[in-house]
Amino acid sequence: MPQLNLVLLGPPGAGKGTQARRLAEDFGLPYIATGNMLRDAVQAGTELGEQAKRFMNNGDLVPDELIIAMITERLEQPDTEKGFILDGFPRTNAQAEALDRELLELGRSLTAALLIEADEEIVMRRLSGRRVCVKHQHNFHVDFDPPKHPDRCDRDGSRLIIRDDDKPEVIKHRLDEYHAKTEPLIGYYESQEILLRIDGSRDADQVRDQIRATLAVLRLEGQK
Ligand code: AP5
Ligand code: MG
């Protein structure tokens, strides 16, 4: 089986985390989410967490050098041998170039960059109703994916909370950051001919089906 080295791109609330987790389970690959890693660091009170906290709470991107160091170390772990699902990285040109360099050094390359597209009205609704569990950051939504008990995670029983950066004014700023700094990566991956567009406005199962079908075609093409 060839490696499956995937990047998930898309605005806040497009459903990257929801789909990345499913993909990781479907393909038995590690799920690597920079946002989750940073929130874990904040919770654990590490030096990285201390440095990242104020950027995250304001909805700003965390400086490239911190993120690149964190991801480089993660990609060198042996569990990424068969591939990985990257969620929320890269988010700037410098991060995309650093990822290409790191993979080249490891003798690997990206299989595809999946762009999950959803308009602003949709992402605002999704983020304003999101609930996240404190233990493993499983996602729920009060209307679209309600947990069985309003304040408990169905999967690990831990408490559900609202993320600090899911306040309307912070969401707005995260979207501005996305348009200014991350959207240019669409052209970056288009020019490498590895960008695949996914309609993120449909329900989560339909989005998953489109991703799976798209990846199946890609694998068949790879065998030709
Ligand atoms: P991060 O945690 O990556 O947040 P984000 O990119 O803003 O994206 P979200 O996690 O908000 O959305 P998502 O697309 O994962 O949607 P989800 O699946 O949860 O980053 C947070 C912060 O960390 C950044 O602001 C920055 O400060 C820092 N950071 C992280 N990475 C960085 C980097 N590389 N460089 C610099 N800084 C970095 O879905 C949202 C909701 O909708 C959920 O409730 C879900 O249940 C629901 N939902 C999902 N799909 C559907 C669907 N199809 N239909 C209906 N509801 C759905
Ligand atoms: Mg996420």
Tell me the two tokens of residue 118.
């959803």
Residue 224: predicted pLDDT = 62
DSSP string, 124-145: HHHHHTEEEETTT--EEETTTB
State the first-to-last Cα distance of the chain, in angstroms, to the nearest integer.
14
Ligand 1 atom 48, closest CA: 15
pLDDT at residue 222 in the model: 74
| Structural Rg of the chain based on CA atoms | 17
Nearest residue by C-alpha to atom 43 in ligand 1? 130
Which ligand is closest in space to the CA of residue 34?
1
3 state DSSP class of 107: coil
Residue 81 CA to residue 5 CA, distance in Å, equals 10
- Would you say the CB of residue 210 lies under 6 angstroms from ligand 1? no
| CA gap 86, 20 in Å, rounded | 8
- In this structure, what DSSP letter does residue 60 have? P
Per-position pLDDT tens, the chain of length 224 = 689 999 999 999 999 999 999 999 999 999 999 999 999 999 999 999 999 999 999 999 999 999 999 999 999 999 999 999 999 999 999 999 999 999 999 999 999 999 999 999 999 999 999 999 999 999 999 999 999 998 999 999 999 999 999 999 999 999 999 999 999 999 999 999 999 999 999 999 999 999 999 999 888 777 66
Please tell me the distance between residue 217's alpha carbon and the centre of ligand 2 in angstroms. 26
For the entire predicted model, the pTM comes to 0.96
Within 13 Å and on the Cβ side, how many CA atoms surround 132? 19
Burial environment of residue 113 by CB neighbours within 10 A (0 to 12, 13 to 18, 19 or more): buried
- Is there a contact between 121 and 130 (Cβ–Cβ < 8 Å)? no
Is residue 134 a contact partner of residue 125, using CB atoms and an 8 Å limit? no
The answer to whether residues 61 and 12 touch, using CB atoms and an 8 Å cutoff, is no
Query: Out of 22, 39, 91, 126, which one is annotated catalytic?
Result: 91
Residue 47, pLDDT score: 96
The one catalytic residue in 16, 22, 39, 208 is 16
- Please give the angle made by the CA atoms of 115, 32 and 71, to the nearest 5 degrees: 100
Cα 132 to Cα 91: distance, rounded to the nearest angstrom: 22
pLDDT of residue 50: 97
**Annotation says 174 is catalytic:** yes
| Catalytic (active site) residue 197 | no
Instruction: Find all residues with CB under 8 Å of 108, minimum gap 6, and list them.
Output: 3, 5
Instruction: Report which bound ligand comes closest to the CA of 37.
Output: 1
Catalytic: 91?
yes
Collapsed DSSP state (helix, strand, coil) of residue 194: coil
